[in-house]
Structure 1
Amino acid sequence: MISEKDFIQNNYTASVESGNFEWSAPSNIALVKYWGKKDKQIPANPSISFTLNNCKTITKLGFTKKENDGNFSFNLLFEGQPKEDFKPKIQKFFERIFEYCPYLKDFHFTIDTQNTFPHSSGIASSASGMAALAMNIMSLEKVLNPTISEEYFFQKASFLARLGSGSACRSVKGSVVVWGNHAEISGSSDLFGVEFPSTIHNNFKNYQDTILLVDKGEKQVSSTVGHDLMFGHPFAEKRFSQAHHNLSSIKNVLESGDVEQFIKIVESEALTLHAMMMTSMPYFILMKPNTLEIINKIWKFRNETQTPVCFTLDAGANVHVLYPENVKEKVLQFIKGELVGYCQNGQYICDEIGLGALMI
């Protein structure tokens, strides 16, 4: 069993004065949700996600050797412009990972980052952003310690990303990723995401995700606050047990290709996530009226046409419409004809399953 101590390295044998790396990392959409976390970004229950392909963050990390003055030193650019309000989050991230990356205070960094999706679209960029930054940091570590293995490189990148944003650990490597200890998932860990270990049925290859941008405003309750409200939640233990059960079920579904059962689990998980929000104290609702309109339209369309399309939700109002590639034309026609009117400014993003982070 891998522990946190395995990611503490002291044998940095090489040195470097300056350089830069550039990585892209995608967002991801959970099929079985995690809601509630313990200290150090440890999930209260395991989760599994599809890695996306088009919605990603591209981050360039420049570094120059400096005197170790006991401080972190970095500039932050977002889409080429200084972004001071992002800096506290990066500072906190560096503080969290310093124990595992002691070389961070030896360099001045320039972090230049951009998203392929609109920043204020309501799509969470913390997962893709922290994953991309973690990949760059691990590239620097690989220079300082060339002996680290590829497996260690990706495990530690996922481990570091998790300390920046929990779900970021699912954006590092693999098309379907599990995060959190689960009895039936080989190698699963609370510390980092792992690639789904079984062969995925062809029905789920090239799966499509069209993201309907219902509400692009800031959520009235942050995910961090929402996670904390699971402590003392009257249904928390039942929910954590349900997530374990649903992960077992969806593992079988992904192996067997049972799209009908996939739809039931994924939609139930999305609604359960929001039910936890509505039954916490204080309670809150992140869905909007148009979210519900879209859900009802999807149900009606699926019943009338027998098209295997379903929805899932993150902790927000936007709707992810999931469907196999072989019904893409039919579903996009439905989206354009019946759902776009419920999107803010008619905006939606077409995405599909991807493979994880890529060096540029």
Structure 2
Amino acid sequence: MMSEKDFIQNHYNLAIENGSFQWSAPSNIALVKYWGKKDNQIPANPSVSFTLNHCKTITKLAFAKKENDGTFSFDLLFEGQPKEDFKPKILKFFQRIESYCPYLKDFHFTIDTENTFPHSSGIASSASGMAALAMNIMSLEKVLNPNISEDYFNQKASFLARLGSGSACRSVKGEVVVWGKHKEIDGSSDLFGVEFPWPVHPDFKNYQDTILLVDKGEKQVSSTVGHDLMHGHPFAEQRFLQAHHNLSAIKGVLENGYLESFIKIVESEALTLHAMMMTSMPYFILMKPNTLEIINKIWKFRSETQIPLCFTLDAGANVHVLYPANVKENVLQFIQDELVGYCQNGQYICDEIGKGAVKCN
């Protein structure tokens, strides 16, 4: 089993002077949620997610050799323009990963990043952003140490991404990704995400995710604060057990194509996530009235048509509508007819399952 020490290398060839890489990495949406974490970005319970395809961050990392004066040196651009308010998060990330990437202080970096989804859309970009940056850093490491294997490259990229944003570790590789140690999933780890190790039923291939943008504003409670509120939460231990149970259950569901069971697990997980927020101290509500209107409309439509669409939520007000590709036309018509009016400015994004990070050059 891999440990943190396995990601510390001591042999780097620092002869390279400059260069650049570019990677894209997608966002992901958890089916079984993680909420609550231990020190050093370790999840309190395992999770499993669909990797998305179109909602992604594209990041170019240019590097130039400098004197190692004990400091990190980087410029940060967002869509080609300096973005000073992003720099503290990147600096904190570099500080967290320095012991695993000791060469960072030997280079000046220019990080130029952009999202394929609208800025301030309410879609969390930390997962895709940190995953894309981690892939670029590992491309540099591969130049400095050509002997590392592809598996090591991907595992360490996921490991590094996790230290920037927990869920980012699920955006590196794979259509369905498990993060967190689970007794029934060989190779599962709290340190990095792993591909779902069994074949996924054809009904879940090319699964669709239409994201309804209910509220594009900044959340009143950050995910970091929300995770911390699970410490001492009266229902925390039962919730962690529930997540293990649901991951066991959804394993068979994804293998066998049990859409009805999939719907029950995914919707229950979404509502449980928000129940944890509403019962923490202090308590908070991230759903909006239109979130609830959409949920009720989905339940009514599913009951009347028997079309197997369902919803999930992240730690916010937006609604992810999940459904098989073979009912896409009917579901999109339903969204146009009945749900778009609950979206801010009528905005929604159509996405589907993707395969993870991709090198662009």
Q: Structure 2-normalised TM-score?
A: 0.99
- 2:307 partner letter: T
* Corresponding residue number in structure 1 for 2:128: 128
Secondary structure of the structure 1 residue equivalent to 2:122: coil
Which residue of structure 1 lines up, in the alignment, with residue 24 of structure 2?
24
* Counterpart for residue 157 of structure 1: 157
Partners of 2:224 and 2:185 in 1: how far apart? 27
Counterpart contact for 1:211–1:349, Cα < 8 Å: yes
Report the CA distance between 1:13 and its aligned residue: 3.3
Find the aligned partners of 1:304 and 1:261 in 2 and give their Cα distance: 18
The structural deviation recorded for 1:215 is: 0.2
Note the alpha carbon deviations across 1:23-71, whole angstroms, 9 max, x for none.
0000000000000000000000000000000000000000000000000
Aligned to 1:281: 281
Report the equivalent of 2:308. 308
How far residue 14 of structure 1 moved from its aligned partner, in angstroms, is 5.5
**Cα RMSD (Å) of the superposition?**
0.5
Residues 229-248 of structure 1, C-alpha deviations (whole Å, 9 max, x = no match): 00000000000000000000
Say if 2:359 is the partner of 1:359. Answer: yes
Could you report, residue by residue, the CA deviation over 1:124-145 in whole angstroms, capped at 9, with x for unpaired residues? Answer: 0000000000000000000000
In structure 2, what is the Cα distance between the partners aligned to 1:116 and 1:185? 33
Matched, 1:327 2:315: no
Deviation at 1:186, TM superposition (A): 1.3
**Partner residue, 1:200:** 200
| Structure 1 equivalent of residue 346 of structure 2 | 346
Measure how far apart 1:15 and its partner are.
2.5
The answer on whether the counterparts of 1:298 and 1:310 sit within 8 Å (CA) in structure 2 is yes
Tell me which residue corresponds to 1:209.
209
CA distance in 2, matches of 1:18, 1:2: 31
8 Å Cα contact 1:158/1:172 also seen in 2: yes
- Stretch deviating more after TM superposition (5-14 or 247-256): 5-14
Q: Offset of 1:11 from its aligned partner?
A: 1.1
Identical aligned residues as a percent: 85
Q: How does 1:28-67 map to 2 (within 5 A)?
A: 28-67=28-67
- Deviations, residues 255-277 of structure 1 (Å, cap 9, x unaligned): 01100000000000000000000
Q: Please state how far the C-alpha of 1:279 moved relative to its aligned partner.
A: 0.3
- 1:277 partner SS: helix
State the one-letter code of the partner of 2:63.
Answer: F
Question: Take 1:254 and 1:57, find their aligned partners in 2: how far apart are those partners?
Answer: 27
Q: Deviations over 1:327-354 (max 9, x none)?
A: 0000000001000000000000000000
Q: Offset at 1:119?
A: 1.5
The alpha carbon displacement at 1:322 in A equals 0.1
Amino acid at match of 1:47: S
Q: Which residue matches 2:100?
A: 100
Q: Distance in 1 between matches of 2:211 and 2:140?
A: 34
Moved segments of 4+, more than 3 Å: none
| TM-score normalised per structure 1 | 1.00
